[in-house]
Structure 1
């Protein structure tokens, strides 16, 4: 049997115009929502070693404020997406972001690491509304190659956050305590609420029935063989990529003995390649089909893991250079990966977006837990993750992508396979 290929020449749906945000402002707002995870974690990373001293606790305990953030963020996204299919994108954003803002304020006044863990959990649940709804909004409004381009732009703009956030965090720490970081996050929450109030609703058809029926759509989407097989294949790599988020400050500050500010520069340099990846994909897709682009990316990520294992522990700049190929090619496949998964479904966009966020975060949390054990050198362990999981992901992709039930979509102006 031949694989299913749909030729889609449509560019944009008949969306409701954004009266207050405008077309460009709307794209910026979607990118802002998509960047909520790096905004909520990366500005906070330089403070982790200092928080160990402030609370007179261990690095493992402080890491729980990061790990539990991702775990409960994943759980939260499972509900926000289906609820947005029923009640609309805007009301869900307003509720979720209100929770996020209040929790950020509570974090400022935490008197123990246990309180901070609880407030970070609340913060993560609210954060899930932003990221779960952002992908659904893109599918509500855009179609065809236009959607792929918007996904690339949004994902690249979202990568500005990992570039500037650690630098901002380091600057805050040079003048204030770690509590100043959460002041910044509270301000971000207020700005996002303002954007949500200004946004016009984007969903056209809402799901009917009770709340439980809406949440039950998660099961319907999960039973879609093509969507779920791609979701598992693409999510595995998060084990390696999110291990870096958890371990980066300890590798650079404790391991290589760099200052918090110098660490933030190294982190920002790596994040630049995350930013360039989606934009590079748009150029590559004009000459190559997305299937070989994804295949090549997995190969290069595996090679990057091998470099980390063999030479990454020698110097901080060698570690950074070894990681850059994985960061660049991990983000290159982002627009194609997201678009291919949502193309497998005709509806339930919010539920699909929730499952995507949950799966990426769930697998990523596994990597964060593994790297936190520190049973072997963190850099070597990270390299093993990139190498082994990269090869496993490559094998899964080569198998799944050739299955007849996968719906491949070619757009006008995109290279054929």
Structure 2
């Protein structure tokens, strides 16, 4: 992929005295784990939390949707601030907020206190994850960046696999509070990495305007049609997966009548196979025509939705297989979509990362809300969501490809 002079001047794999290249990749992978860990670890406990707090599933699910909503609000501001003040200060503040709020979650005395604590946890997580994407852009370029993204996303893919299993095991010895104590411990490890991390944003690349002006860069980035249009398309395509996150425990436990532990195995098995997605892309599909590649992946997701609506309603195994197609397609396209979006915005990397994260998170929250609607048949409802939004993203992508809006790396640049 053709790179601008500014990108090629970056030192590949910015030196880290304490972390080194492998340590930096491990750190970025850990940061990318925070969202699945923050949601998936306590999913097995959601049905029991309804009884514990005496609340409905709609209220209890606010601990998920409120987390994502304020996570989106958080990253909207953290990214631009990191362009002005650097990545490390934001990492430190975000990690401290996340650790403190995780402890508050574990000490919650009612569902509303837990929701407030989850809101603060989401804000702290926003500082961690928005900076992680910016660090990749700071330190790597070209094919190397795409490879590092694939490695980080593959490692981070372990989180959805192990989180519900850990959550299920915790329920054998503790209650839902144990998951949040575990998250507090993980956040302290991340804080240690943040202390050792050395700044990757060069002085000449920092935004030198006012604090208000740095927030205003979000508007500048959002006006870049080459960036914002594909960002919206990829965000729409990810919406159904967040719907699955919100209702997966109810599907396996309430709809199919499985135990919380067996549910965690199904959830983990889906994640285990999905983590090979980035590897499949880099190894076999990275040189494929990008227009056709994205269309193919979105078509597979649409097919998955149809299968979930039909076969997926019959048995837990058929549901698992039907949804796996959509889940795997999402991880296959992720290195390509992330790298493509970063390439469209030469400067204001933190702001671009914030916009990406905010779009994905807001539309993810919409997916959670839609999936939580009383559909009558919860599996059929999820299938409708997958089909409609996957098809919408497919149609939007093809319209975008036929438009006169440039797109570096797809329309007017060839892949290496």
* Residue of structure 2 in register with 1:349 after alignment: 349
* Residue of structure 2 in register with 1:18 after alignment: 16
Q: Offset of 1:405 from its aligned partner?
A: 2.9
CA distance, structure 1, for counterparts of residue 292 and residue 128 of structure 2 = 32
In the alignment, which of 101, 123, 147 is matched to residue 103 of structure 1? 101
Q: In the TM superposition, what are the counterparts of 1:78-93 in structure 2 within 5 Å?
A: 78-93=76-91
Q: Secondary structure at the match of 1:373?
A: coil
Q: Secondary structure at the match of 1:335?
A: helix
Contact 1:285 1:415 in 2 (8 A): no
* Residue of structure 1 in register with 2:147 after alignment: 149
Contact 2:237 2:298 in 1 (8 A): no
In the alignment, which of 43, 46, 57 is matched to residue 45 of structure 1? 43
Any idea what the Cα deviations from partners look like across 1:180-232, whole Å, max 9, x if unmatched?
A: 11110000110000000010100012101221110110000001111111111
* Residue of structure 1 in register with 2:311 after alignment: 311
CA distance, structure 1, for counterparts of residue 174 and residue 294 of structure 2 = 43
CA distance, structure 2, for counterparts of residue 292 and residue 241 of structure 1 = 22
* Residue of structure 1 in register with 2:174 after alignment: 176
CA distance, structure 1, for counterparts of residue 263 and residue 406 of structure 2 = 43
Contact 1:298 1:391 in 2 (8 A): yes
1:384 aligns with 2:384: yes
* Residue of structure 1 in register with 2:64 after alignment: 66
- May I ask how many residue pairs the two structures share in their alignment? 409
Contact 1:151 1:335 in 2 (8 A): yes
CA distance, structure 2, for counterparts of residue 38 and residue 335 of structure 1 = 17
Q: In the TM superposition, what are the counterparts of 1:278-293 in structure 2 within 5 Å?
A: 278-293=278-293
1:133 aligns with 2:139: no
Q: Offset of 1:290 from its aligned partner?
A: 2.6
Q: In the TM superposition, what are the counterparts of 1:22-37 in structure 2 within 5 Å?
A: 22-37=20-35
Structure 1 residues 67 and 280 mapped into 2: Cα distance closer, same or farther (>3 Å)?
same
CA distance, structure 1, for counterparts of residue 251 and residue 373 of structure 2 = 14
CA distance, structure 1, for counterparts of residue 206 and residue 387 of structure 2 = 43
Any idea what the Cα deviations from partners look like across 1:359-385, whole Å, max 9, x if unmatched?
A: 001111111111112233111111111
Residues 152-161 or 396-405, more deviating:
396-405
CA distance, structure 1, for counterparts of residue 125 and residue 244 of structure 2 = 21
Q: In the TM superposition, what are the counterparts of 1:241-320 in structure 2 within 5 Å?
A: 241-320=241-320
Contact 2:2 2:415 in 1 (8 A): no
CA distance, structure 1, for counterparts of residue 48 and residue 403 of structure 2 = 50
Contact 1:20 1:198 in 2 (8 A): yes
Contact 1:238 1:361 in 2 (8 A): no
RMSD: 1.6
Q: Secondary structure at the match of 1:376?
A: coil
Q: Offset of 1:150 from its aligned partner?
A: 0.7
Q: In the TM superposition, what are the counterparts of 1:186-201 in structure 2 within 5 Å?
A: 186-201=184-199
CA distance, structure 2, for counterparts of residue 172 and residue 138 of structure 1 = 34
CA distance, structure 1, for counterparts of residue 141 and residue 402 of structure 2 = 24
Contact 1:163 1:269 in 2 (8 A): yes
Q: Secondary structure at the match of 1:385?
A: helix
* Residue of structure 2 in register with 1:227 after alignment: 227
Q: Offset of 1:313 from its aligned partner?
A: 1.0
Q: Secondary structure at the match of 1:177?
A: coil
CA distance, structure 2, for counterparts of residue 62 and residue 113 of structure 1 = 7
CA distance, structure 2, for counterparts of residue 12 and residue 55 of structure 1 = 56
Structure 1 residues 11 and 270 mapped into 2: Cα distance closer, same or farther (>3 Å)?
farther
Scaled by the length of structure 2, the TM-score of the pair is: 0.95
CA distance, structure 2, for counterparts of residue 286 and residue 319 of structure 1 = 30
Q: Offset of 1:7 from its aligned partner?
A: 6.0
CA distance, structure 1, for counterparts of residue 228 and residue 271 of structure 2 = 29
* Residue of structure 2 in register with 1:336 after alignment: 336
Contact 1:11 1:146 in 2 (8 A): no
**Gap runs ≥5 in structure 2:** none
Q: Offset of 1:11 from its aligned partner?
A: 7.2
Any idea what the Cα deviations from partners look like across 1:67-123, whole Å, max 9, x if unmatched?
A: 100111111110000000000000000001100000001111110001000000000
* Residue of structure 2 in register with 1:122 after alignment: 120
Any idea what the Cα deviations from partners look like across 1:16-38, whole Å, max 9, x if unmatched?
A: 41111111111010011111100
